Amino acid sequence: MSQARLILASASPRRRELLAGLGVPFDVVVADVTEHEEPTTDPRVMVAHNAALKADWVSRLHPEAVVLGADTTVFLDGLAINKPRDLAEARSMLRRLSGREHTVFTGLAVRRASTGLRIDEGVSSHVQFKPLNEDLIERYLLLVNTLDKAGGYSIQDHSDLIVAGTRGSFTNIMGLPMELTKQILTPGVLGA
C-alpha cells in the first residue's frame, strides 16, 4: 500500500518547519480563503473553523491527498488576539500581554476527500509573560518580525526577553502542536 500525498494547507513558515521534523514528505498548498478573525468569537470555535476552512478548500482540489489545516490564536480577557496589522498594534498587544498569562489555541483539521476522512482536534497551551517596559518592547520589536504572528510575538525567537514560562505544548504556541499532529498522522491515516 503506497503512502498518500500529504499537503499542509498553510502559508506559515513555522508550521512548515515543524511538520518537516516528522520526516514525512509533504507539499504546501495555501488555501485561498478568508479566515474568520472576529475577536469576540470563542477562540476554540474560531481556530477550528479556520483550520477546517483551509483543509476543506485544499482537499477539494486534491481529493486523494491527506490535507492538514491549522489555525492558531492568542486569547486574553475574553478576546482573541490575532496577527497585528502594524507595529503600533504589535506594541499594543505586547503591552496587554505584559506580566500576564494568556492561552494559545490551535485548531487542527485533517481531510482526505476521496475516503471521507475528517478529523478535527484542538489544543491549548499557556504562556506567562514577564512585565515589559517600553524599552524592552522596542528592543523585542527590533529583533523579531511580529507582524505574521498571533499575539504579536514569537515563542521561538528571543522569548527569553518577554516570556517567564509556558505550560502545555510548546510547538502549539509556535502554531502546530506536534504531539497531536504525530498522533493524527499515523501510518493508517497516511496509508503507509
Domains in the chain (CATH in brackets) are 6-190 (3.90.950.10)
Phi, psi of 177 (to 5 degrees): -65, 105
* CA atoms of 130 and 137, how far apart (whole Å): 11
3-class secondary structure, 132:
coil
pLDDT in tens, 57-98: 999 999 999 999 999 999 999 999 988 999 999 999 999 999
71 assigned to active site: yes
Is the predicted pLDDT of residue 192 greater than 70, yes or no?
no
Residue type, 83: K
Predicted local distance difference test score (pLDDT) of residue 2: 61
Q: Which residues contact 7 (CB under 8 A, 6 or more apart)?
A: 26, 27, 28, 29, 58, 62, 65, 66, 67, 68
* CA atoms of 102 and 31, how far apart (whole Å): 28
* CA atoms of 172 and 176, how far apart (whole Å): 5
Answer whether 129's CB lies under 8 Å from 73's CB: no
Q: What is the mean pLDDT of residues 2-22?
A: 89
Give the active site residue among 27, 32, 71, 148: 71
Q: What is the mean pLDDT of residues 163-168?
A: 97
Predicted local distance difference test score (pLDDT) of residue 104: 96
3-class secondary structure, 158:
coil
